[in-house]
Amino acid sequence: MHRTPSGGAGSSGTAASDGKLVSIGTVLNVLREEFPEVTISKIRFLEAEGLVEPKRTPSGYRKFSAADVERLAGVLRMQRDHYLPLKVIREHLDALERGEQVALPAPAPPPSRELLEGLAGPGAEQPTAARIGRAELLSAAGIEEAELTDWESYGLITPAADGGYDIEAVTVARLVAELGRFGLEPRHLRAVKAAAEREAGLVEQIVAPLRRHRNPQTRAHAEATARELATLSVRLHAALVQTALRIRLH
């Protein structure tokens, strides 16, 4: 029997609180109160990954207990709030099942301004992003050396000239790993990489005149504009994907 994972309070534990088992549709409705984007496919995927083990009726239908629902909610919270890969989540839940008191692992916070200033030295130009080493990237993303080497061969992750990695590489690695659990291989993601490069080129084209300006405030405005354009581009991309899927699935 799975233990209820830690991960914050939620309404999910109310499902089947009377001891009755419920269907996957009921589980979906309960979870959507806190996780609007969850789908039946996601629940089945988490089951396939061994993160929840619902009972089965003689005809093969899934039946979930209150503990199953709360466990699913805990997994989803760890993904949403801590952005942990499933491998790390599974290890955390296994530790809880063994009765071990373990702290929930979490990604390292972004470096503070004070830290960046200290790294740069007094009067030096601040680095735009922190660098991490290869071992740190592997550990933070919960991936293996062979996986990282494979992703680098497809250009999904690229080390800097000094051999280090920007902190964003951790996010990229985790996303590629998660997509891989759905059967998407690096070769499938080359189109995504190419689209990102085109979007980055478009943003660069827009802000290039501002970055070349002699006024420091104008150059600073270029950086803020680039970040805003990047955010809008990501939101547009997500909306277009959702629209395309809706057309294809209906």
Q: Which amino acid is at 104?
A: L
The answer to whether 193 and 156 have CB atoms below 8 angstroms apart is yes
Which pLDDT belongs to residue 13? 43
Helices and strands: H and E segment counts in the chain: 10, 4
Distance (Å, whole) CA 177 – CA 167? 16
Cα dihedral sign for 107, 171, 141, 54?
positive
In three-state secondary structure terms, 131 is: strand
In residues, how long is the chain?
Answer: 250
Q: Which amino acid is at 246?
A: R
Residue 193: both structure tokens together: 């990489």
Per-residue pLDDT of the chain (250 residues; tens, 9 = 90+): 454 444 443 444 445 555 789 999 999 999 999 988 788 888 988 888 888 999 999 888 999 999 999 999 999 888 777 767 777 788 888 888 888 877 765 544 444 444 334 433 444 333 344 578 888 888 888 888 999 999 999 999 999 888 888 888 888 999 999 998 888 898 999 888 888 888 888 888 888 887 787 777 777 777 778 888 888 888 888 888 888 888 887 7
Domains and CATH numbers, the chain: 11-97 (1.10.1660.10), 107-118+125-184 (1.10.1660.10), 187-250 (no CATH)
Residue 183: C-alpha distances to residues 120, 160, 177, 179 (Å):
42, 29, 10, 7
